[in-house]
Amino acid sequence: MNRLFTILIPNFNGAEFIIRCIESVRNQTYTNVEVVVVDGKSIDGSHQLVDDIARLDKRVRRVDKPLDIGLSDAVNIGIASAKGDYVLWLGNDDYLVDDCVLDDVNTFLDSYQSETGIEPVICYGSYKIHWTASNVTENRLKRDLDYHLMWFTDSIMCGNVFFRPAFCKQHNILLKTHLQYCMDYDLWLQMIDKITDRREVACIPKRFIHVFSMREGNITGGNIYKSTYEAKNVALGHTRNPLKWIGIYLFIGTQLSFQKVRALYLNAYTFFSTR
């Protein structure tokens, strides 16, 4: 099937990264794709860079936000304007891991539909994290089992998840603008709440989708503890199962404790090493 993929890129002052992100999509061997950049009134010229690319490639278009009220609003605008069968949401400093990602995803979806008779609502793969401060890249391999862990940890993230915008529109699913860090996690749980067949969530085995840049300046990079704490509250808000509550506190609570101890150690180390 010749599916149309929408690559959604929220942007605010991303001039340093936005070209790399867009070019990783334009270079795909699979060409039935649109790039939708939702700009939040950038003042660094990044919106002009997008327009320059759009003049060269009609698959690229910029959507301006009437008011800049945050990332969640930008993604909601992008989903509403998406024409694709599937949306992939990338940060403006992220990029697709190689030129064959969309070809491989489309082939997987064809095979999955042929085997199950189901076109997944959510389809996710693996991803890489690039820690920019240390220039280290980690592989985060995702498995089908991760579906069962969704309520216990934010196990999949925006840039490695393809989802059907028509499903969001049908069920009036929107990103919640009061969330600061885990709006993507909450989006997946909202969708899973409405899914009637477990097979509507599919994992592409051993396929890396994107590289996530973990920078001090981005939302997650400088706020890992706050992000994990918010993830715990998001997970608790999506279940009434006492066994899942226990799992959430065990899994995410352990992560929070580790991060607190690590922060205390680093602060103490810094203090004593300077005396």
Q: State the pLDDT at residue 264.
A: 65
Is residue 116 situated within a structural domain? yes
**CA torsion through residues 98, 104, 109, 115, sign:** negative
CATH for 191: 3.90.550.10
Alpha-helical regions (H) of 57-164: 71-81, 101-116
Alpha-carbon distances of 33 from 5, 24, 38, 52, 113, rounded to whole Å: 5, 12, 16, 18, 20
Query: Strands 122-131 and 136-140: what pairing?
Result: antiparallel
In the chain, the number of structural domains is 1
Is residue 20 situated within a structural domain? yes
Q: What is the CA radius of gyration of the chain?
A: 19
Is residue 240 situated within a structural domain? no
Is residue 44 situated within a structural domain? yes
Q: How far is CA 91 from the centre of its chain?
A: 7
Would you write out the chain's pLDDT as a tens digit for each of its 275 residues? 899 999 999 999 999 999 999 999 999 999 999 999 999 989 999 999 999 999 999 999 999 887 767 899 999 999 999 999 999 999 999 999 999 999 999 999 999 999 999 999 999 999 999 988 889 999 988 877 666 666 555 567 778 999 999 999 999 999 999 998 889 989 999 999 999 998 999 999 899 999 998 866 655 555 677 888 888 888 888 887 777 777 776 776 676 676 666 556 556 656 566 65
Q: State the pLDDT at residue 15.
A: 95
Using a 10 angstrom Cβ sphere, with 0-12 exposed, 13-18 middle and 19 or more buried, the burial of residue 99 is: middle
Is residue 134 situated within a structural domain? yes
Residues 121 and 130: their CA atoms lie apart, in Å, by 28
Is residue 36 situated within a structural domain? yes
Is residue 60 situated within a structural domain? yes
Residues 111 and 115: their CA atoms lie apart, in Å, by 6
Residue 120: name the closest of 90, 82, 164 by CA.
Answer: 164
Is residue 177 helix, strand or coil? coil
Residue 207: name the closest of 135, 111, 119 by CA.
Answer: 111
Q: State the pLDDT at residue 230.
A: 86
Write out the H or E segment, with its range, that includes residue 122. Answer: strand 122-131
Is residue 271 situated within a structural domain? no
- Boundaries of domain holding 72: 5-222
Residue 211: name the closest of 115, 154, 108, 135 by CA.
Answer: 135
Helix, strand, coil percent content, the chain, rounded in steps of 5: 45, 20, 35
Residues 110 and 27: their CA atoms lie apart, in Å, by 22
Q: State the pLDDT at residue 263.
A: 59
Query: Strands 33-39 and 60-64: what pairing?
Result: parallel
Alpha-carbon distances of 105 from 123, 160, 184, rounded to whole Å: 9, 11, 20
